[in-house]
Structure 1
């Protein structure tokens, strides 16, 4: 059973009845679900995920103004819930697990992930939040939120970046694809710098994946799950498979094939960018498209940043 489904069933079996029985007058301000850290919040957990931080459990979120009223009591009630459920043991004592489940304020949940208690308001505020933390702030599932305070912030974050922030980040991805893949990879090979060629290839792959996520208006998760998340994009299936292939080929023996793959992937990403109206022209050197995209940025502070800022 997937961790998210286990969490939902545990909540419906024990969590919701406990809240209704012991906190009836407060159920209108209590949100519950599972979100934040962990592969189970992305739906990517498997049998290997069960050796750490896995088991039945869920989060309870309350407004910070109610913490002094019911926070500690609510946490004690949560800790008294059954320790075993459908063959799985509650593992909230594992390192880091206790901070991921149980009772938290709405404000502290968002503060720990995006550094603020509400959704960003300006382009620069959006730009300064690392993308993987935005991915964690919107993943998982809400089981209940009658007040709507938690889900209101969540919805604003799920609407994705403002257009100028997308442009800035997309320009940075294109610049890295051009520099690391189209320019430096081949130069490293010719110099016999195979270890540096490997680094260049990795930077190219991460930038290409990042561009695909931006074009799909989806936050790219922690690098460990970047490929797994990209597998959900059916219209980019062949490109994702080619990026995987690129990572698996040898820089010593297969460099010619890798250079061809790099160029082919650049052509496909460039074509999608042009179709989307982000850039123009037939040139396939990604640095040029980074500059074209930057030209369209209206927010002056974003436009003046180094072209690779936001990669």
Structure 2
């Protein structure tokens, strides 16, 4: 088996050896962007068995698109460093994956709107985080100045949008935190375990939000979370919660995780300090954080009156997790009315 070359490295070489000589003096930008584990830098040897090979986006002026497309089409090699340049998967017929386009057209195709001209609050909230990662996380091999400004703009949410999303994520936890004990109490051990896993995932996504890090889709959510700094051992608390064999250990691990992520929240300084100490759930025998207190603290800091009037349903990723929806701009943008008051 040949040594594995990450796609980012393969793309860099392909750009240097093949694409850049073709373009000559044409102004352009190029990078490995958009969809795929390789854009995130998560590809491994396993990735090469399915839809993997040299892949680039080349961004030029609108007047140059057709000419450069033809130039690329006529001059690509059959192979590069032992990898077919034209490849397919499943029902995808083998083709090359060098996309020549303008930045604006690419953004419309990837996100569903032109983020260079219309970054409304609704557009921020309706766009899945994985899609935003497709713009900001990939490797860039050349840039004449047309690509970096939009990557900078989309690097992270505006403060009001971010704080409102923090409120929504805390609200998700508040809705279910007492149910781990309650389901166990009525003999539903499986339900208790499933709720613990759901809450662990919500804490992971909250930790990413606090860290100002976009969450990738489910396959790589744990990987992204593991690459955050965890000196407080939040990762260990969540691992203990999902592996616990009894309700007492499960609840203890979860409330430990709640307190740790609550302390991270307080360290941000974006809200007044909220007591991170777990407490009893009313008169019932369940220990919780009472996460709604953190949601309320966030909402009071949101300046945008339109956001303050919205129900705390969250951004598209916070209330939907269907892959066919989140991967298709034509589908998820039909839900934008949720955010248009």
TM bucket (normalised to shorter chain) is 0.7 to 0.9
Cα 1:100/1:288, change in 2 over 3 Å: farther
Q: Tell me which residue corresponds to 1:269.
A: 261
Contact 2:237 2:256 in 1 (8 A): no
Q: Tell me which residue corresponds to 1:304.
A: 309
Q: Tell me which residue corresponds to 2:175.
A: 179
More helix as a share of residues: 1
2:88 is paired with a residue whose SS is coil
Taking the aligned partners of 1:111 and 1:295, their CA distance within structure 2 comes to: 34
Contact 1:123 1:164 in 2 (8 A): no
- Across the two proteins, how many residue pairs are aligned to each other? 296
1:149 is paired with a residue whose SS is coil
TM-score (norm 1): 0.86
Moved more, 260-269 or 84-93: 84-93
Structure 2, unaligned stretches of length 5 or more? 277-288, 319-341
Deviation of 1:11 after TM superposition, in Å, equals: 1.3
Contact 2:208 2:214 in 1 (8 A): yes
2:147 is paired with a residue whose SS is helix
Moved more, 52-61 or 120-129: 120-129
CA RMSD of aligned residues (A): 2.3
Taking the aligned partners of 1:201 and 1:227, their CA distance within structure 2 comes to: 16
Structure 1, unaligned stretches of length 5 or more? none
Deviation of 1:196 after TM superposition, in Å, equals: 3.3
Moved more, 233-242 or 148-157: 233-242
**Counterpart mapping for 1:211-250 below 5 A:** 211-235=206-230, 238-247=233-242, 249=243
Contact 1:67 1:105 in 2 (8 A): yes
**Counterpart mapping for 1:1-311 below 5 A:** 1-20=5-24, 24=25, 27-28=26-27, 30-68=28-66, 70-77=67-74, 80-94=75-89, 95=92, 101-119=98-116, 120-146=118-144, 148-158=145-155, 160-180=156-176, 182-235=177-230, 238-247=233-242, 249=243, 253-279=245-271, 280-283=273-276, 284-310=289-315, 311=318
